[in-house]
Amino acid sequence: MLKLKIVSPERIEFDGEVVSVLVPGSQGEFEILNDHAPIISTLNQGAVVYGLPKGEKVRLEILGGFVEVQQNVVSLCVEVN
């Protein structure tokens, strides 16, 4: 299980547990799963899609930002519409 925190300048968009996170990286879209290697990457405009434990998928459109992954904690600092 991953701990995901998505923060925008206005508010905390999401803070909770997820099973996967798909992000629009600057070098292309990539998916973060449990035990992903540590990474810091810029994000382009596009959709962040995260899977909740009950099987639901949530989509958040972003204008850009950053993602950091470390020890199953995924932190996104994004700008939303």
Read off the pLDDT of each residue in 54-77 and give the average, rounded to a whole number.
98
The dihedral through the CA atoms of 39, 11, 28, 74 has a sign that is positive
Find residue 81's DSSP bridge partners. none
pLDDT tens digits, 20-50: 999 999 999 999 999 999 999 999 999 999 9
pTM above 0.85, yes or no: yes
Residue type, 68: E
**Rg of the chain over all Cα atoms, to the nearest angstrom:** 11
pLDDT at res. 69: 98
pLDDT digit string, tens, across residues 5-24? 999 999 999 999 999 999 99
